[in-house]
Chain A
Amino acid sequence: MDEQRLDGNAAAGILEEIFTFEITTARAACVHCGAAGEVGAQMAYVTEIGTVLRCSSCDNALIRIVRQQSTPQRYWLDLKGIEYLQLQ
């Protein structure tokens, strides 16, 4: 499957696998440009091997996720593009 540029909503499933709660309405601030917005309003790049959530203002990688499907299931989660997450 080719890489697809989608809405943050498209990453909602894998994000909920990790965080166990709905996170697309949380606000994330970008470490690079400072823009803050809901996770669902950012851009998601989804492939078979992983998902990258990019800032809709500056394209900086906010969240990078790699998932190992085989047992044991593992995730690698890189959050260093996020300054803070504001949860409700």
Chain B
Amino acid sequence: MAGTVRRLTWQVGEIVETSPQTPRTKSLFLEVPEWRGHRAGQHVDVRLTAEDGYQAERSYSIASAPENGRVELVVERLDDGEVSPYLADELRDGDGLELRGPIGGWFAWDAEEGGPLLLVAGGSGIAPLMAMVRHRKATGSDTPVRLLYSSRSYEEIIFRQELETLAADDETLEVIHTLTRSQPESWRGYDRRIDEKMLRKVAHAPEEHPLAFVCGPTPLVETVATALVHLGHDPARIKTERFGPTGG
């Protein structure tokens, strides 16, 4: 905590690119003039202000690696949401978006911390874990990583192509998918929600002392955290980020 006081202040980032990820999600790429750099796993608060002054705030994890100059956020469109429809449908290149961050040092990973890393994601919970996978790649780290990623269907896997490419030429990065609602005909992977039996098979042995990061909807996060502890993993090495029932 030494050093000068840097107040967490609201600033305006500029949307420099938007890119559809899946039918319900989109990546927003921002350039933030006063960006002080982030760690993989951190988030930003986004604030929208209506004409009558009403404000709504939401937190979004940063998906880009710290080594990347732009800030990438993954926005999932929730039809009855207060914030996400605006972010997903209305924002255009050149628009400004009010945000503050980076925030949070607890759910963060630096390459020098090592591992092995056990990453478990549900849906858009992949975002902060993607920042870790990209940070690892950017730093040339050889920390072994297993990523277990639950999506509803093949089409809804966010970063599917990039994960495939990264894992293809990296023996120490394993990506395991489970598709909970529908599967392509030739699908040979898991086809159910993440449970203890799956984690027993996929996770490192407790003796390897993996550092686990779990991010997604609350029920998934609680199931995974409980199962990992039950399997003998050290609770102090399990870090969780619940989305909650999502206020959108």
Contact = CB atoms under 8 A, between A and B. Distances in A.
A83 interface: no
B231 interface: no
Nearest to B57: A13
Interface string A34-68: 00011111000000000000000000000000000
B45 interface: yes
A10 B57 CA distance: 12
Interface in B78-104: 100-101, 103-104
A40 to B, nearest CB: 3
A22 B100 contact: no
A69 interface: yes
Interface stretch (B4-12, B19-27, B112-120, B178-186): B4-12
B106 A39 contact: yes
B8 A7 contact: no
B103 A12 contact: yes
Nearest to B218: A5
Interface size class of B (residues with CB under 8 A): 20 to 34
Nearest to B247: A1
Contacts of A37: 236
Interface string B1-38: 10001111000000000000000000000000000000
Contacts of B77: none
Interface size class of A (residues with CB under 8 A): 20 to 34
Contacts of A22: 103-105
B103 A7 contact: no
A9 B213 CA distance: 13
Nearest to B244: A4
Given A12-B106, A40-B104, A40-B106, A5 B244 contact: yes
Given A1-B247, A40-B239, A9 B8 contact: no
Contact of B106 (A4, A24, A88): A24
Contacts of B236: 37
A15 B27 CA distance: 28
Given A5-B242, A41-B239, A10 B59 contact: yes
B218 A16 contact: no
A38 B59 contact: no
B245 A2 contact: yes
A87 interface: yes
B141 to A, nearest CB: 21
Contacts of B107: 7, 9, 24, 40
A13 B245 contact: no
Contacts of A20: 5-8
B1 A87 contact: yes
Given A5-B242, A7-B107, 8 more contacts: A5-B218, A7-B240, A9-B106, A10-B59, A12-B43, A12-B103, A13-B103, A40-B239
Interface of B: 1, 5-8, 43, 45, 55, 59, 100-101, 103-107, 218, 236, 239-242, 244-245, 247
Interface of A: 1-2, 4-10, 12-13, 16-17, 20-22, 24-25, 37-41, 69, 87-88
Nearest 6 Cβ contacts at the A-B interface: A40-B106, A4-B244, A24-B106, A12-B104, A22-B105, A16-B8
